[in-house]
Amino acid sequence: MSYLNSKWKDYHTQPLRPRSYSNQREFEADWVSGMRRRYRISQEALAAMAAVSVTTVQNWENPLSKKAIASHNQDRLRDIERDLWIKSHVTLLNPCPPTIRALYDLMCTGRDESAQALAEHFVSTATHNDPERARLLHWASLTYSITDPASHKARLYQQEALQAIGEGDGRLAAAIENEILGYQFEMLMQAQPQSTQSSSDRIQQARDLMQACERLHVRDQQPAYLWNALEVACRAQLPEKELFRLTGQLTDLLGADVVQRRIESEAPFMAARIVFKTGKAH
């Protein structure tokens, strides 16, 4: 079965669909244009990657086009999507442990089941106090989410990675934390609640991410981590009490003027402006 035919079949198995399509051609057109938007590439760039003309890409994205996307071009799109996903979500920090390099090489060559099996082995043999444990758990989640962003296994590893953040003190800790937290927050913002259950899951993910940032602040006493926690609370629309609590902590550390100036001048903290409007920054 060709790649987009498989995607079309998978789409029909989803209990909650983001939108309806009148036919497979409309679905394929939306998938191609959606991939470009997701990775911020132009039609010209996609044409160069797929070794086709810009007109061909335009036809792919035209739901009224009568010309189907050829199977070999669907294979190219599959490989392009994987390559873009890896470049967007995967960071190789130096020095790179052999364990991470092995997972990366398997993912790059499309050997996902092998990558997942190897990740399972690495996780099962890693000690709890291993300073690289958080990054290993993060990479274990990547081996599953590369094929299914909604994977339950990926979610479990992501939660464990967040819990492990702040527990280690390795010399690459800060870089590892940025890698994991950045990915987690990106995934959270891309997720669109479609039901009460998915909405509650999203809120819990945001809360886990916020608390991971707070643990880092407890460990390193860096205000930047509290600002990160506040940004998560604002953009994920967590309850107002979290905004008041985090803003109060920042105010105690930095002073009301400094905190108010940043909150009122930067868009990510827009939701926290209510704290100063009510005059309850403490």
* Statement to judge: residues 156 and 201 lie in one domain: no
Residues 174 and 221 in one domain: no
- Do 176 and 211 lie in one domain? The reply is no
Give the pLDDT confidence score for residue 197 in this predicted structure.
44
Asked whether residue 121 carries a pLDDT value surpassing 90, the answer given is yes
| More confident position, 147 or 172 | 147
Judge if 213 and 252 occupy the same domain: yes
Give 208-222 pLDDT, tens digit per residue.
889 888 888 887 788
Residue 84, token pair as written in the block? 């873009």
Q: Are 74 and 97 part of one and the same domain?
A: no
What would the pLDDT profile of 254-282 be if each residue is shown by its tens digit?
999 999 999 999 988 999 999 988 765 55
Nearest Cα residue to 37 out of 88, 3, 73: 88
| Cα 185 from Cα 209, distance rounded (Å) | 7
Q: Which domain holds residue 279?
A: 191-282
Q: What is the CATH number of the domain that holds 170?
A: 1.10.3450
Q: Which of 82, 107, 140 is the last residue of a domain?
A: 82
Domain boundary pick from 82, 109, 133 = 82
What's the predicted TM-score (pTM) here?
0.67
Q: How many independent structural domains does the chain possess?
A: 3
